[in-house]
Chains A and B, each alone.
Chain A
Amino acid sequence: MSVCTDKFRTTAEAMARLHGFEGYRFVLVHHPIASLELPEIAQLAAGALDEVLAILEVTR
């Protein structure tokens, strides 16, 4: 399960292709992360949770 920020979308897709996983699903969150405070990180994680669970095929 991979999560990356939207600024690395192209690179992530290219890496997946290189390893033979065209269309590999991963979760994108807004950039940046390194300069966020904890509440903002928590908000980002909460916003991504549904997509993470969907990729993992887990239902709440």
Chain B
Amino acid sequence: MTGDVTASDTATGDTAASGTITNTLIDHQQVRRAIEHYYEEGFTDGLPVVPPTESYLAEFLAQVDRSPDEVVAAMPHLNRQCTLRVAAINSIMAGCLPEYFPVVLAVLDAMRVDVGARGATRFSSGLWQSTTGTVPITVVNGPVRLRLGFNCQGNIFGPGFRPNATIGRALRLIVMNAFGLKPHVLDQSTQATPAKYTCCIAENEEESPWEPLSAEAGYGPEASTVSFMMMRSTLHIEARSATRPDHLLSDVANSVGRTGGLYSEKTACLVVVSPEHAQLLHSHGWGKQEIREFVAENAVCTREAMERAGKTGISRDMHWLVPADHPDALPGEEPQFERRDGADVHRVLGSPDDVVVIVAGAANAGVSTVVDLMGGSSSPSGRGGGRVPAMSEIVTRGSA
């Protein structure tokens, strides 16, 4: 696009595709002022936000039978709370439509357990400011996916779909603005992940041969839910030519068991199985439980690999993996090894229950994803939780 945009020929319309400006309803200077105001106030994630207005806010608040003053999230160690009204404002800023707001609230309901009890759920840590750069990942199930147009197919972790993009972003803006978790100040992430902008995916229930995650938690097919987990990273699994379940899942297990992912003895993971891989596994009679058991059994690290990476010692207080001769290493302590195929190996998953399985993505290639999760049955934060992630039902006005 070339040339100056003046007050009479303003933004958007089909500009982005063709370069033609058709929208003359708004004044660009006012738009620019509003956008810049939120940058100046430090209320953005680096991208422009939608300027909220009282009338638009009212549309959001009308979506639920809850008081605007209700505290919907809190971080007691920061002395900070987030009211429903503040959550709505940040949802507007993130680009949500009003009808998305009950989903945002359901995410906050699910995460409230995590934040309030500092990691009482299985797949979280309560750590929002850590140098690890942990980030929420939310999984949407049920009819709401189709009603609101969530993407659950191709480009599942990518851009292009408003509910996925803006609901995940709303959560980030809420923790940045309501709790002040901003980079270089209270957010101490060393590097973090691009998922910190937004990470909200939906399960591809239509192309899954198995019951959805919500059903595993006891919800019926009429229920719409969001699950909340804390993740560190996503790993791409290339298995385009796999014809056997053990080949495919060995690829998955090998990725889970890599030394670089281990900061303590045990980890947890979400396996996002593509429809093509799900069909392969299903055709051989494998379900989600068989996947969990195989991955838990085969996600191992050899002693040799751990020694090479300097991760055969256990630190005194944090129980992190450190070199055996590290000053903080507990004398004589090491991860639990077992003998297998002539080598000492360490299982990095404490239980099959430390593996969450969903189906998402397009049915166009043998590509899946492993998501490194926080928590797990062996971590202090995971011991009190159930097998499934923290999950909340999405409740709209009049549906409770």
Q: Main SS of chain A's interface residues?
A: helix
CA of A11 to CA of B80, assembled, Å: 16
- Closest B residue to A8 by beta carbon equals B188
Chain B positions 317-350 with a Cβ under 8 Å from a chain A Cβ: 327-328
Number of chain B interface residues as a range: 10 to 19
- Closest A residue to B186 by beta carbon equals A14
B185 at the binding interface (Cβ < 8 Å): yes
B30 at the binding interface (Cβ < 8 Å): no
Chain B positions 192-216 with a Cβ under 8 Å from a chain A Cβ: none
A46 at the binding interface (Cβ < 8 Å): no
CA of A36 to CA of B322, assembled, Å: 12
B327→A38 contact, CB < 8 A: yes
Chain B window 170-205, contacts with chain A (Cβ cutoff 8 Å), 1 for yes, 0 for no: 000000000010001110100000000000000000
Q: What's the minimum C-beta distance from B269 to chain A, rounded to whole angstroms? A: 25
A43 at the binding interface (Cβ < 8 Å): no
Q: What's the minimum C-beta distance from A38 to chain B, rounded to whole angstroms? A: 4
B327→A41 contact, CB < 8 A: yes
A57 at the binding interface (Cβ < 8 Å): no
B188→A18 contact, CB < 8 A: no
Tell which of A8, A18, A19, A36 touches B327, judged by Cβ atoms closer than 8 Å. A36
Give every chain A residue within 8 A of B180 (Cβ-Cβ): 14, 18
CA of A12 to CA of B90, assembled, Å: 27
Q: Main SS of chain B's interface residues?
A: loop
B188→A19 contact, CB < 8 A: no
A19→B185 contact, CB < 8 A: no
- Closest B residue to A11 by beta carbon equals B188
B79 at the binding interface (Cβ < 8 Å): yes
Q: What's the minimum C-beta distance from B249 to chain A, rounded to whole angstroms? A: 34
B132 at the binding interface (Cβ < 8 Å): no
Give every chain B residue within 8 A of A53 (Cβ-Cβ): none
Q: What's the minimum C-beta distance from B314 to chain A, rounded to whole angstroms? A: 14
CA of A8 to CA of B189, assembled, Å: 11
Chain B positions 130-187 with a Cβ under 8 Å from a chain A Cβ: 180, 184-186
B185→A11 contact, CB < 8 A: yes
CA of A8 to CA of B129, assembled, Å: 12
B78→A10 contact, CB < 8 A: no
Give every chain A residue within 8 A of B129 (Cβ-Cβ): 11
Which residues from chain B sit less than 8 Å from chain A, CB to CB?
78-80, 129, 180, 184-186, 188, 327-328
Which residues from chain A sit less than 8 Å from chain B, CB to CB?
8, 10-11, 14-15, 18-19, 34, 36-38, 41
